[in-house]
Amino acid sequence: MKRFYYIFTLLTCAVVMFSNSSDCRETYAFNVNLHLEKQKFHSSEDIMLDIRIKNITDDEISFYIYDSPVRSDLFDKARGDNADYTTFKPVIFDMKGKNAELVVPYIISGKAGKETLSWMKKREIRLGAGETFMHTQNLKRIYNFEIDKNYRLKMHFFPFIGDAADENKVIIS
């Protein structure tokens, strides 16, 4: 009986230590919601996507955002900064499943992800339990939309982009 208790205690300690290690961050802590002001837009209008990231755990969590190096003030952001297509990657596709044309300069130039992130400013966002982070993207600065075509939208959220151990973890909404 003592041997069973000893093994059980060791296993419990190992599980607790492993789950609290810094390199096993999981994406279950994030809830991602997308919101567009309306469903139909004129060709002259900006298509502003509101993204809400909510911490649905009881612990503090964090993720990374990359800003354009020319931005000096966090709140002085052009509508749809070119650095938007890093942590938040909207995926726009038509009703047949064909992706819309990407127009982000550093994506269409074919540069590697690490090279792209190297010239941007990394910022860590920390959310307490129940807190929400709101971000807005101008989809017309990321995609080329054809007139009279219907599109669907989903989001790939990379909370740990730029962190070698966890950068491929993604949340799809």
User: 134: domain CATH number?
Assistant: 2.60.40.2970
Answer whether residue 117 is part of any domain.
Answer: yes
Q: How far apart are CA 62 and CA 128, in angstroms?
A: 9
Q: For the chain, what is the domain count?
A: 1
For 131, the domain range is 30-172
Q: What's this model's pTM, rounded to 2 decimal places?
A: 0.70
What contacts 169, CB < 8 A, 6 or more positions away? 25, 26, 27, 158, 159, 160
**Other Cβ atoms closer than 10 A to 103:** 15
Answer whether residue 113 is part of any domain.
Answer: yes
- Going residue by residue through the chain, which has 173 residues, state the pLDDT in tens, using 9 for 90 and above: 556 555 555 455 444 444 444 444 465 788 999 999 998 898 889 999 999 999 999 999 998 887 776 655 444 545 444 556 778 888 999 999 999 988 876 665 555 556 666 667 788 899 999 999 998 988 888 889 999 899 999 988 877 766 666 666 677 76
